[in-house]
Structure 1
């Protein structure tokens, strides 16, 4: 009896050790077939920062948390079981399943759902800080004879909130509060694209159902509205919808549904220029490239996020040169070297807290 008990205890210890060791063996050996490139970060930990032990340990910890063996298999199994078997959203704080095939980002993205109904305001101190930061940018650019515009496309949750699985009493949004504060305290007007997109959404679908971004139509409306503001200060030609071939195509966009392992094909509108312009590009790196259109005038610096990719083809038709920078830090050296006429900050609504960062200007 005693020997049997000892054997059982030994088996428990062996199983426990195997449970601890197995994920590490899988990770180091790259045996997990469902994993993509997560192991690269872990393996690269041993190649970098070995002479900097603190940075090495921090990177090792982060990469281990992201890449430990069988993580992807277990997470994917959980997601599939919740969605396929229980018909529940596996990660409701990240993904919200709406009505009529619509999917939305959840509150883990800067309280995006709360923002849609006006339940997440900046504090007075935060509003003051944002105003000071933008005023610094505006004044510096004004000294360089450069006009500054801040353009904010709305979240999909804000435009199509009727497709959300619940409805709340609407109040002023965080963006509305910010716009009022900036207008009243530093006489700065934000180009908010929410109103125009809401007004046009019944004519055409403006966002992907399975993705957080706008489609070609939505981006075109955003471009047109932005140029309406810019044309109050400059004479800028804008392309018309009639310049484009409009087609309905099936796509697998889906940055939202990918988080819950879905692959859904949806139909969306695409716009293709009927007569292509002689536009050239100069790649600097993945976060900075230049466009040159010899038929147009004015030079623009556009600091942007992923929302700008869809409207870039339209802006390329209106300006002589655009520097696209995926960053919100202005380089004084680059600005004074290139001397643009216009600087645009495009920031999606869910990321406007970026404006709290006071490191916009770099020497």
Structure 2
């Protein structure tokens, strides 16, 4: 009887050892998809005599690609979140209070930024300011007005739902330091933190399970931007809430819960469907692939007078639903650098650079 048990244990152990390889070949757990938002390593090539380097790279590759990994992470993620109430990937996603999720430190040290552990020095702020002023002058010679819009991190607008040990520092934030430097210039630097903090008293302005502002927060951000541009371009009509139909609804799960494979278990409690009135209608007239760029550029036609070139990050996606109506033509680019060719070909009168708060250091290379 003892021998039978030993054989069964040996066979079971051997099956467990073989399962990852078998799964990799047959695809037993193929329906478990990776949603961790990570770039998988490719199978390394063996080049003699560099065998040691191959072994190291293969080890890294196998740890990320072994058979059944996605299924194991699926189980682990639910156990970690549902039983222990913790994030399965704390460096990528922070689990907050009352169903809130936040980006973790693996994204430009956003948590440490919020806690004041990665301050922006006055000299760094001066370098960013000087660079932006140079861009402003360069564009002004072409008859283009530059505006810089900062989209706040969700930690900034909803700090109350962060874990207690991750609360914000009382020192000046990186954005505060940069804003202080920019205040000495005539470059329109649009900080909408106070506007969003005021708006959240009556409406949810960011997603709980996503890194971005929601539809209402997007509309508030667009209104703040347009109102600032109107100071220089009075022909742009004012933004009135009455021109939009706003309906509250339940929402889908966001990108942060997808990273944890919890998208089937956690959904948005508050979301909005917003429709502009017919007089604010715009239409997309072209989608233009960009060489060496993941996202294509998009062109819109509206009813305004100015031509808008908008260079932004993922926060700009939802802004395409509201801004184009206020301009004769709009051209949106997902990028972090000034596209000189687009400036020449589009001949905009207004150029808006939008960047999320955690990435303001990238303004030094715009």
- TM-score, structure 1 normalization: 0.81
> SS of the counterpart of 1:291?
strand
Distance (whole Å) between structure 2 residues aligned to residue 315 and residue 222 of structure 1: 10
Q: 2:147 aligns with which of 123, 146, 149?
A: 149
Pairing 1:72–2:74 present? no
- Corresponding residue SS for 1:141: helix
Aligned residue for 2:33? Answer: 36
Structure 2 equivalent of residue 83 of structure 1: 81
Question: Partners in 2 of 1:82 and 1:294 — Cα distance?
Answer: 49
1:187-225, Cα deviation, whole Å (9 max, x unpaired): 534211111111221111111122221111111111111
CA distance in 2, matches of 1:278, 1:334: 21
- Gapped regions of structure 1 (runs ≥ 5): none
User: What are the Cα deviations for residues 96-155 of structure 1, in whole angstroms up to 9, with x where unaligned?
Assistant: 222222222222222323333433212355334423432332222122111111100111
Please give the alpha-carbon distance, in whole angstroms, between the structure 1 residues aligned to 2:197 and 2:63: 41
Question: Counterparts of 1:97 and 1:42 in 2: how far apart (Å)?
Answer: 23
Give runs of aligned pairs for residues 14-163 of structure 1, distance below 5 A: 19=17, 23-36=20-33, 66-163=64-161
Q: TM-score, normalised by structure 2?
A: 0.80
- Shift in CA distance, 331/269, structure 1 to aligned 2, threshold 3 Å: closer
Match of 2:266 among 264, 267, 288: 264
CA pair 42-161 structure 1, distance change in 2 beyond 3 A: closer
Cα distance in 2 between the residues matched to 1:322 and 1:59: 46
How far did 1:28 drift?
4.9
Structure 1 SS opposite 2:359:
helix
Q: Is the 8 A contact 1:45 1:60 kept in 2?
A: no
| CA root-mean-square deviation | 3.5
Does structure 2 conserve the Cα–Cα contact (< 8 Å) formed by 1:206 and 1:217?
yes
Are 2:281 and 1:273 aligned?
A: no
d(CA) in 2 for partners of 1:37 and 1:92?
17
1:309 is matched with 317
